[in-house]
């Protein structure tokens, strides 16, 4: 009896969420991943198709990168909306809009129009990712249950990335426009969410934020102060983590082509990218066990594993490309849940949307910087593999910096 009462107090909706709620939220979390990786197998085709467009060597990668910038810009605003007006309405309508604007490049052959629609896709993704992650924490209170589902979010999204890469490679045989039709799947997810999800509240004791300074006893502060002193450093680290995470996602196709694979052999490119994505899954699956170690060990180790893989790509540019890319991807799988639990997991109900939005913005801003940064590094050092190696050196530096920053709390589990 007491146990059930405790469960009731820790469930912000007085309902117990389960797989029926987790499944559509995890599926919705895959939509920003779809935007990132579905098109990567056809990027070489896009580069050839729009080769006569001025600055196409920068603009074509922006087809993938622009949504990440929009997530970085608009996720904090999405966080404000979900804290003030609710999670479910924003999520539902963002999924509908995502299907509409995401499919436009399937029937438009104009690079400027495509880039404009990718801006709108990113705005939708900002709302989707922020609302899905916030609802996962709302529905599954309690540290162990919450962290399990946040780790599962990483695993599911990376598994989806594998499927989307393979699907993008297969559909790429019919032309570079065909994969864009896949964006319509968000309509199905929205219809399921409209039935199975409910709008959480701050009605229970665990989710409430008691305002100690309120003159009304029991009055709940809906919006508290953002704890910048706690999340400032993690947000900065998340920017670099987003950059390193996205290097292999963006560049693996070009790295494979650099080994001699034909630019239109999207099956081979897609399979190599899928193997890297599976390595990210393995990293995510290992996180619940590894997270028992102190966070001051787990996060630096994830950066070091990424760094070793990138250095292998640099130092063994032919035979080492696949091995290095897989190793770096495994490190990425460890890194992502470590970062998100570091920032988001302990947020109170009234702050949760804003803190989730800030983390989402930081991580995806790092992703947006990847194509621009990698293009600049490649130009500066003369080759893509050397640019990847320099990012690996940077990851080592960040690993030591994170270890030093977490040293005072080295005993805290990840």
Burial of 216 (0-12, 13-18, 19+ CB in 10 A): exposed
- SS3 (DSSP) at 53: coil
Q: What is the pLDDT of residue 413?
A: 59
Nearest C-alpha neighbor of 94 from the set 67, 54, 61, 60: 67
The predicted pLDDT at position 187 comes to 94
pLDDT in tens, the chain (414 residues): 444 444 444 444 457 767 788 899 999 999 988 877 788 788 888 888 787 777 777 788 888 878 878 888 999 999 888 888 888 899 999 999 999 999 998 888 888 899 999 999 999 999 999 999 889 888 887 666 777 788 788 888 878 877 887 788 888 888 888 888 999 999 999 999 999 998 887 654 344 333 333 333 333 334 567 778 788 888 999 999 999 998 988 888 888 887 767 676 777 777 887 788 789 888 988 887 887 787 778 899 999 999 999 999 898 877 788 889 999 999 999 998 889 888 875 577 778 888 888 998 999 889 888 888 998 999 999 888 899 999 999 999 999 998 888 766 555 555
Would you list the domain boundaries of the chain? 16-409
Please say whether the beta carbons of 88 and 139 come within 8 A.
no
User: Domain 16-409: which CATH class?
Assistant: mainly alpha
Angle at 101 between CA 156 and CA 55, to 5 degrees: 95
- Residue 1 has a pLDDT of 43
Provide the pLDDT for residue 262: 66
**For residue 155, which of 305, 330, 307 has the smallest C-alpha distance?**
330
CA dihedral 369, 373, 374, 380 (to 10 degrees): 180
Rounded CA gap, 277 and 287, in Å? 16
Predicted TM-score (pTM) above 0.85:
no
Report H helices in 85-227: 88-102, 111-139, 143-171, 186-196
How far is the C-alpha of 225 from the C-alpha of 211, rounded, in Å? 11
pLDDT score recorded for residue 206: 46
């Amino acid at each position: 009896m007491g146990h059930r009462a405790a469960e009731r107090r820790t469930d912000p909706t007085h309902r117990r969420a389960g797989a029926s709620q987790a499944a559509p939220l995890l599926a919705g979390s895959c939509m920003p991943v779809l935007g990132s990786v579905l098109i990567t197998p056809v990027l070489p085709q896009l580069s050839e198709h729009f080769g006569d467009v001025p600055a196409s060597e920068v603009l074509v990668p922006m087809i993938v990168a622009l949504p990440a910038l929009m997530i970085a810009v608009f996720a904090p605003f999405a966080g404000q909306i979900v804290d003030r007006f609710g999670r479910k309405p924003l999520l539902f309508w963002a999924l509908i809009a995502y299907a509409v604007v995401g499919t436009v490049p399937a029937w438009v052959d104009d690079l400027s129009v495509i880039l404009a629609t990718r801006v709108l896709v990113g705005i939708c993704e900002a709302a989707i990712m922020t609302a899905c992650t916030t609802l996962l924490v709302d529905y599954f209170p309690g540290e162990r249950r919450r962290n399990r589902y946040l780790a599962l979010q990483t695993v599911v999204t990376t598994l989806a990335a594998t499927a989307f890469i393979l699907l993008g490679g297969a559909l790429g045989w019919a032309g570079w426009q065909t994969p864009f039709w896949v964006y319509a799947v968000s309509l199905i997810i929205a219809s399921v969410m409209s039935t199975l999800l409910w709008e959480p509240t701050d009605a229970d004791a665990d989710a409430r934020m008691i305002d100690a300074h309120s003159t009304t006893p029991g009055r709940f502060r809906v919006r508290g102060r953002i704890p910048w002193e706690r999340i400032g450093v993690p947000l900065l680290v998340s920017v670099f983590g987003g950059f390193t995470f996205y290097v292999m996602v963006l560049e693996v196709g070009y790295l494979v082509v650099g080994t001699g694979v034909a630019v239109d052999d999207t099956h081979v490119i897609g399979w190599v990218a899928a193997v890297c994505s599976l390595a990210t899954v393995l990293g995510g699956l290992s996180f619940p066990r590894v997270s028992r170690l102190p966070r001051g060990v787990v996060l630096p180790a994830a950066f070091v594993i990424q760094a070793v893989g990138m250095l292998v790509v640099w130092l063994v540019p032919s035979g080492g490309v696949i091995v290095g890319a897989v190793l770096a991807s495994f490190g990425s799988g460890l890194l992502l849940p470590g970062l998100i639990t570091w920032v988001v997991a302990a947020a109170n109900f009234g702050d949760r949307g804003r803190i989730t939005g800030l983390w989402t913005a930081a991580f995806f801003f790092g992703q947006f910087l990847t194509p621009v940064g990698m293009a600049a590094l490649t130009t500066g050092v003369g080759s893509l593999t050397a640019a990847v190696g320099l990012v690996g050196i940077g990851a080592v530096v960040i690993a030591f910096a994170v270890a030093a920053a977490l040293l005072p709390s080295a005993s805290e589990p990840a």
